[in-house]
């Protein structure tokens, strides 16, 4: 099951450091700190019918990611929200992926970078669905790479550097014929996929790994809201891989993948059932402006 669209902006305007410019004219210095030392954070957001879902929550998380990496986003939440809104309107793209990014610039290239400038940009491109036929379910393998503990990395930041192991994991999964990889944490517990959180179903109840060494997912929070509205029990807890075969359904959740059912994790089979289908439908209603309950 291939991704249907290129995951990047190829033409049109983007927003950079306060101005709207043609994307092929946007340039950064080769001595950019974010490029050499990973002082770069980003967001991944979706617009449906021209409206970005949970836009403000994403901007607040972006500002917090900057803080966790020791710098300030030089825009207020309101200013950044306006930039996103104006870019979306200017682009005319109704079904969009929106990629804000902030990074330390090129005025101080060394490990210490306190006096560096901070830059920000927002790109936007057409995106309908991440997986071509998501209800068919996807296949996951288990990565050899593990999520680091909170004492080894700023795990709550959506930091570019934390994606190094995600890229290695996802590329290895694709080479082995899988759609994505499930990553364990430093203790060998189930953590998340390379760009999504994971939920399991057993006896009509949801189980999901506790998020102490992962990003606080905006879709994960939305799934918890849906579960509360539907009166579903949710167990946020440590889950070991030997439990995988005890679950009946599994789905991954994220802004890009939305809610995508899983039909295999490295030899363990799942059949997307009623609960997964209902969750996909409820999420779909919410992103298109519907209400819960």
Ligand X SMILES: Cc1ncc(COP(=O)(O)O)c(C=O)c1O
- Per CB under 6 A, residues contacting ligand X are 44, 166, 192, 195-197, 215, 217-220, 254-255
Choice between 14 and 160, CB closer to ligand X:
160
Hey, what's the torsion of the CAs at 100, 105, 109, 114, to 10 degrees? -90
Q: Give the count of alpha carbons within 13 A of 76, CB side only.
A: 3
Residue where the block lists tokens 């491109």: 125
Residue where the block lists tokens 């995988």: 244
Choice between 14 and 196, CB closer to ligand X:
196
Choice between 104 and 220, CB closer to ligand X:
220
Chain centroid to Cα 99, Å, comes to: 10
Choice between 87 and 157, CB closer to ligand X:
157
CB of 44 to ligand X, least distance (A): 5
d(CA 268, CA 251): 14
Choice between 113 and 142, CB closer to ligand X:
142
Under DSSP, the state recorded for 163 is G
Choice between 90 and 148, CB closer to ligand X:
148
Question: What region, left, alpha or beta, does residue 53 occupy, with left being phi > 0 and alpha being psi -120 to 50 degrees?
Answer: beta
**Angle formed at CA 176 by CA 175 and CA 178, multiple of 5 degrees:** 100
Burial class (CB in 10 A: 0-12, 13-18, 19+), 248: middle
CB of 48 to ligand X, least distance (A): 14
- On whether the CB atoms of residues 48 and 55 are closer than 8 A, the answer is no
Choice between 35 and 224, CB closer to ligand X:
224
CB of 160 to ligand X, least distance (A): 11
Strand (E) positions, 231-289?
234-237, 249-254, 258-265, 268-269
């Amino acid at each position: 099951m291939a991704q249907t669209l290129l995951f990047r902006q190829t033409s049109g305007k983007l927003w950079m450091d306060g101005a709207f410019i043609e994307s092929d004219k946007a340039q950064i210095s080769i001595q950019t700190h974010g490029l050499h030392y990973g002082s770069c954070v980003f967001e991944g957001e979706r617009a449906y019918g021209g409206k970005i879902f949970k836009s403000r929550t994403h901007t607040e998380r972006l500002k917090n990611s900057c803080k966790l990496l020791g710098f300030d986003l030089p825009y207020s939440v309101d200013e950044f929200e306006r930039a996103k809104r104006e870019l979306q309107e200017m682009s005319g793209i109704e079904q969009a992926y929106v990629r804000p990014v902030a990074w330390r610039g090129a005025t101080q290239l060394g490990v210490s970078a306190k006096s560096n400038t901070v830059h920000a940009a927002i790109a936007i491109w057409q995106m309908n669905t991440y997986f071509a036929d998501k209800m068919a379910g996807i296949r996951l393998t288990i990565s050899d790479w593990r999520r680091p503990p909170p004492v080894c990395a700023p795990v709550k930041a959506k930091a570019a550097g934390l994606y190094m192991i995600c890229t290695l994991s996802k590329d290895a999964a694709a080479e082995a014929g899988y759609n994505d990889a499930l990553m364990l944490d430093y203790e060998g517990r189930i953590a998340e996929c390379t760009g999504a959180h994971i939920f399991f179903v057993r006896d009509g109840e949801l189980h999901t790994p506790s998020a102490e060494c992962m990003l606080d997912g905006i879709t994960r929070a939305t799934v918890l809201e849906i579960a509360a509205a539907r009166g579903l029990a949710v167990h946020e807890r440590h889950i070991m891989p030997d439990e995988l075969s005890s679950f009946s359904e599994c789905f991954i959740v994220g802004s890009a993948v939305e809610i995508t059912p899983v039909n295999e994790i490295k030899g363990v089979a799942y059949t997307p059932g009623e609960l997964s289908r209902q969750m996909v439908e409820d999420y779909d209603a919410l992103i298109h402006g519907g209400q819960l309950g």
